[in-house]
Amino acid sequence: MKKRSQELMTDFKSSQKIAIIYSDLFENEKQISEIVNELKKEGKEISMMVYCHSIKKKTTALPHFHSKEISLTGEIKSEDLNFFLRQSYDFALCFDQSRHFIIDYVFSQVKAKCRVGIRTPSRDHLFEMMIQADDQQTPLSSEVLRYLKMIQSYEY
């Protein structure tokens, strides 16, 4: 993993660009659409990238990548993914619970002031903010959005 320099974090209200990475195995496409729509209502520019586990089963019209597009040395051969990684974001959200090493590698390369993900002890090094929901009725991705909105500036 590349070493990151400390950057000033942006509060949610003044943030502009948000990156979202998720897997095509994510259980609820509707939930992702709702989160994207809610973020757009807040005036945020959203960039999405989907990891396809199977090369033959590209289940999305969104920009996507698969394992064959990243070499063993980490060279990225996907133009969509290269474009996604060249951008700078205020927040990067990862809705992957599979802990797939390729998703983790790509997420570690995202240029974001704050990376937010679902709490998994083995992935502490990837996130500045991790969300854990104890209520099984509330989807974790909704919890991520709820906590993201709580990030405020305390300048007086």
pLDDT on residue 156: 44
Q: Are 108 and 76 in contact (CB under 8 A)?
A: no
- pTM, two decimals, is 0.82
Mean pLDDT for all residues in the chain: 80
Phi, psi angle pair for 112, to nearest 5°: -135, 145
pLDDT on residue 5: 47
CA–CA separation, 144 vs 26, rounded Å? 15
Burial class of residue 22 (count of CB atoms within 10 Å of its CB; 0-12, 13-18, 19+)? buried
Domains and CATH numbers, the chain: 17-149 (3.40.50.1000)
Q: Are 19 and 94 in contact (CB under 8 A)?
A: no
24-80: per-residue pLDDT in tens? 877 677 788 888 998 999 999 999 999 888 776 555 677 888 889 999 888 999 899
